[in-house]
Structure 1
Amino acid sequence: MAAEANADAVLAELEALSARLTEVEAYLHIEEARGRVTELEEASAAPGFWDDAEAARAYMAELAQVKGDVGLVDRAHERLSDARAALELADEMGQDGAEFIAEAAAAAEELTRAIDEMELSSWFTGEFDHGSAILSIKPGQGGLEAQDWTFMLFKMYMKYFARRGWKVTVNDCPAAEVIGIDRATITVEGKDAFGMLRAEAGVHRLVRISPTDAKKRRQTTFAGVEVIPVLPDDIEIEVAPDDIRVDVYHASGPGGQGVNTTDSAVRVTHIPTGIVVTCQNERSQIQNKAACMQILKARLYELELEKRAETLDEIRGPKTEIGFGNQIRSYVLYPYQMVKDLRSGVETSNVDSVLEDGDLDPFIIGYHRWATEQAE
């Protein structure tokens, strides 16, 4: 009877997933996408397609994206079919079918994650949501502890980016004098990177026993995360040479190690706005200056949006003090263990999976589901 009950539960879950998959196909306009794939493939095979290299690259980028969406749905249908077949085998085998029920349950779990991912992508309707992002972390209230917390967040995000398979460039991550880092700026390239990471913009709060306090007292510290889009090539932001000041200095990395022994690190100051961008990842001044200018232009574009809309809510959420009362997520290590997003209510007691392994998808997906519901 237990095997039958398990099979019934898995079957009910599969039927619910099938309904969700049908909804996702409608959101993503999959039948239209299949037709678009055919059009783009025919266009790419036509003589002279590569005569206009820039237009050809745009076509190929669209083809890759549309084929990716179609492929995700097709693979989801395959998982659903395999799970149903496993349940049928379990039914035929009676008491000996537990292994096939377990196989179907595992397929249902995998399918749930896949549909979550597709639903998430369907929620991204912003101009830059499907593109790359620039994520910055800086310490807030908490003194030296906040610099250590900034470094902990930096490592958490690097683990998350690796889990996602995104390409990462650490533009700037200088070590603090005593513990942790002064700040971090990271360029993240990958599908839906900006849309996904918008969930992380805001104040992050840590509660733990202080590692620097001899009396081992509880300490609360804060760090701020900013997320802005990498601007597409067709958006041009003019920066007058007379409006910027460029300084160079020795590069250094987190933990105090030297990156190189030349003045390759670059600091660009935009004089009219006071925006300062630093990059030290690359080996040459030229490369670091180019990275600085990309980030500066993205921030100037964001500033222009702020002037037009009188708010940053659409891009990164409102600017707030990085301290008490403004946090979007709390990470509590003492007196109990809990990570909780204060907007969506998503929480877990497995803090190591979040901080050490970068398992942020439940929080990011939960935030976007919550934000979508709030907008309805």
Structure 2
Amino acid sequence: MAVVSRRFEELAHRLNQPETAADPALFRRLMQEYHEAEPAVAAYREWQTALDHLAQAQALLDSEDAREPDFKQMIQQEICEKAQQAAKLENSLKLLLVPRDEYDNRSVIMEIRSGVGGEEAALFAHSLLRMYTMYAQNRRWQLELLSLSETELGGVREAVVSVDGQGAYSRLKFESGVHRVQRVPDTETQGRIHTSTATVAVLPQAEEVEVQLDMKDLRIDTFRSSGAGGQHINKTSSAIRVTHLPTGMVVECQNERSQFQNKDKALEILRSRLLAHKKAQQQDEINAGRQAQVGTGDRSEKIRTYNFPQDRCTDHRIGLTVHNLDKVMDGGLDEVLDALVLHEQAEKLGKLAF
């Protein structure tokens, strides 16, 4: 923590230098770092003051005046109160020092795909798309459909959406993985419960300066938009397929009416996938990167189960079960996500050296 305090003082000094003011990009970067460190430094100084006061009270207990019973009792009570205050401030400081994911404030790209279960899996993927759309609306985030492949019954083979909002990644990153549903499908005539899955990948949106694409590394193909049928199928070759040759990543986008719009959306998705790939290489974590997030779609890899007959939603990572499944499917995810955030904080606190 002393290192953080020294860095904070260094930032304050550099922000007051003429050469910093002359470089707007540097000034913004240092100012952002300054504001991010300020709460922790203020809490650290308050904790240090509380420890000083505690030490002073303990020193009084060893003085000659403390031989007086009433005075000694008063000092002991004061020591107890100051020790509790110092402990409370220490806990607050630890929470501020919990390492944050550098992408937590980012908007996201979400990819939803049907997994095991045929048409019912596609219908469940559609239900998840609706759930996240309503959750984004509840949070006043902007959700935009970038790519959609549907089945004839209205299911979703694959949907790619962008969710723009402050802190979207800090919440939605917990949705990465295999989601399992247990319910009686609309297509089931004998009332049997089916188990199906869908996969979700959540990628922090990449900025162009982070992932620079060399056009020599891209193969861009055009083709006609496809769909379940009807008059809305595009009769011109406006759909775009972008292949990133070094990695083999392929992105298709056909929702917009022009090639240029579809190309821009496809490149946005590609940059986010490449950023996630870079993050996976750097951190080597199980949930970093698109492939690690979604797995194979097998039921055994599930992170969450939506059981309609029992009206329950169970998150298997933390053993949390909530009821009122209709509320969850209508975008009421905060109870589950709040618990996942607290679990993550507790894990990081346990690893924090203080």
Q: Same fold (TM over 0.5)?
A: yes
3-state SS of 1:173 partner: strand
The sequence identity of aligned pairs, in percent, is 31
The aligned counterpart of 1:373 is: 346
**Paired residue type of 1:368:** V
Query: Residue 353 in 1 paired to residue 349 in 2?
Result: no
1:232-266 deviations in Å (ceiling 9; x for gaps): 343133334354232332264x8977275533222
Q: Aligned equivalents of 1:53 and 1:251: distance in 2?
A: 47
3-state SS of 2:345 partner: helix
The aligned counterpart of 2:264 is: 290
Judge conservation of contact 1:172–1:280 (CA < 8 Å) in 2. yes
**Paired residue type of 1:176:** T
Indicate the RMSD between aligned Cα atoms, in angstroms: 4.2
Q: Aligned equivalents of 2:259 and 2:204: distance in 1?
A: 24
**Paired residue type of 2:334:** D
**Cα separation, partners in 2 of 1:242 and 1:318, compared to 1, 3 Å:** closer
Which residues of 2 match residues 1-376 of structure 1 at below 5 A?
Answer: 125-250=100-225, 252=227, 258=232, 260-314=234-288, 318-334=293-309, 336-356=310-330, 358-375=331-348, 376=350
Judge conservation of contact 2:318–2:343 (CA < 8 Å) in 1. yes
Query: By how many angstroms is 1:308 displaced?
Result: 4.5
Q: TM-score, normalised by structure 2?
A: 0.69
Query: By how many angstroms is 1:207 displaced?
Result: 0.3
**Paired residue type of 1:359:** G
**Cα separation, partners in 2 of 1:282 and 1:319, compared to 1, 3 Å:** closer
Q: Aligned equivalents of 2:190 and 2:249: distance in 1?
A: 40
**Cα separation, partners in 2 of 1:187 and 1:319, compared to 1, 3 Å:** closer
Query: By how many angstroms is 1:191 displaced?
Result: 0.8
3-state SS of 1:182 partner: strand
Judge conservation of contact 1:305–1:312 (CA < 8 Å) in 2. no
Q: Aligned equivalents of 1:309 and 1:58: distance in 2?
A: 23
1:9-30 deviations in Å (ceiling 9; x for gaps): xxxxxxxxxxxxxxxxxxxx9x
**Paired residue type of 2:315:** D
1:294-313 deviations in Å (ceiling 9; x for gaps): 21122123223434554443
After superposing the two structures, state which structure 1 stretch, 317-326 or 359-368, moved more.
317-326
**Paired residue type of 1:306:** A
Q: Aligned equivalents of 2:99 and 2:143: distance in 1?
A: 21
Judge conservation of contact 2:201–2:294 (CA < 8 Å) in 1. no
Q: Aligned equivalents of 1:246 and 1:215: distance in 2?
A: 45
3-state SS of 1:185 partner: strand
Judge conservation of contact 1:337–1:350 (CA < 8 Å) in 2. yes
Q: Aligned equivalents of 1:288 and 1:362: distance in 2?
A: 36
Considering only CA atoms, is the larger Rg found in Structure 1 or Structure 2? Answer: 2
**Cα separation, partners in 2 of 1:320 and 1:286, compared to 1, 3 Å:** same
1:348-367 deviations in Å (ceiling 9; x for gaps): 221111112x0111111111
**Paired residue type of 2:142:** K
**Cα separation, partners in 2 of 1:318 and 1:201, compared to 1, 3 Å:** closer
The aligned counterpart of 2:45 is: none
Query: By how many angstroms is 1:125 displaced?
Result: 0.8
Query: By how many angstroms is 1:58 displaced?
Result: 7.3
Judge conservation of contact 1:175–1:255 (CA < 8 Å) in 2. no
Query: By how many angstroms is 1:205 displaced?
Result: 0.5
**Cα separation, partners in 2 of 1:57 and 1:261, compared to 1, 3 Å:** farther
Gaps of 5+ in 2: 40-93
**Paired residue type of 1:369:** L
**Paired residue type of 1:298:** S
1:35-65 deviations in Å (ceiling 9; x for gaps): x9xxx9x9xxxxxx9x9887798799x59x9
Q: TM-score, normalised by structure 1?
A: 0.65
Judge conservation of contact 2:179–2:198 (CA < 8 Å) in 1. yes
1:331-371 deviations in Å (ceiling 9; x for gaps): 0012x211111112332221111112x01111111112112
**Cα separation, partners in 2 of 1:122 and 1:279, compared to 1, 3 Å:** farther
**Cα separation, partners in 2 of 1:162 and 1:57, compared to 1, 3 Å:** farther
**Paired residue type of 2:333:** L
3-state SS of 2:150 partner: coil
User: Number of residues paired by the alignment?
Assistant: 294
3-state SS of 1:245 partner: strand
